[in-house]
Amino acid sequence: MPKTPDELLAFLSELGIAVKTATHPPLFTVADSQALRGEIPGGHTKNLFLRDKKERYFLLTVEEDAEVDLKTIHQVIGGSGRVSFGKPEKLLDYLGVTPGAVTAFGIVNDTENQVTIVLDETLMRHDTINAHPLTNEATTSIGRDDLLRFIKATGHEPLVLKLSA
């Protein structure tokens, strides 16, 4: 069973990571979330769950307005051939979330390291990064260095690369 948002927040607390979470109506798109800009400071994320020709999976976390060239991004992330979006079933299996709630925090559910997480270097220039805490009915603000520490605590080694144009 995937972790719940409460279990995620408890895990962060166990790591000594302080976060701030704001609840709100469900947000399904970047456009939906932009209505909160005055209320939640920091870098806001957009996430792409991708797979390559060898069925390897990648979670790309970029700034909400970043443009990612799906025709060439495989060369940047080390994918085998062009990438496509991963199926919702795999998203649920590996990250424990559904489309519309994809988040870097989902990596906590990838206990078998099936997904490579890649963070955009432009996003990582923000001191605070905002992401859904496994539900699109809330936004959790976390420090940049704490996000990296969280990802490593899940057994993943995050890549920080230039993903956006």
Average of per-residue pLDDT across 127-138: 94
Given this model, what pLDDT does residue 36 score? Answer: 60
CA dist., res. 44 & res. 92, Å (int): 22
Collapse the DSSP code of 45 into the 3-class scheme (helix H, G, I; strand E, B; otherwise coil) and give the result.
Answer: strand
Residue 127 clears pLDDT 90, i.e. is over it: yes
Given this model, what pLDDT does residue 25 score? Answer: 72
Computed over every residue of the chain, the mean pLDDT equals 93
pLDDT by residue (tens digit) across 52-101? 999 999 999 999 999 999 999 999 999 999 999 999 999 999 999 999 89
Q: What percent of the chain has pLDDT over 90?
A: 82
Q: Domain spans of the chain?
A: 5-30+41-161
CATH fold for domain 5-30+41-161: YbaK protein (3.90.960)
Average of per-residue pLDDT across 30-41: 67
| Closest to 147 measured CA to CA, from 59, 29, 35, 36 | 59
Q: Choose between 24 and 70: higher pLDDT.
A: 70
pTM: 0.92
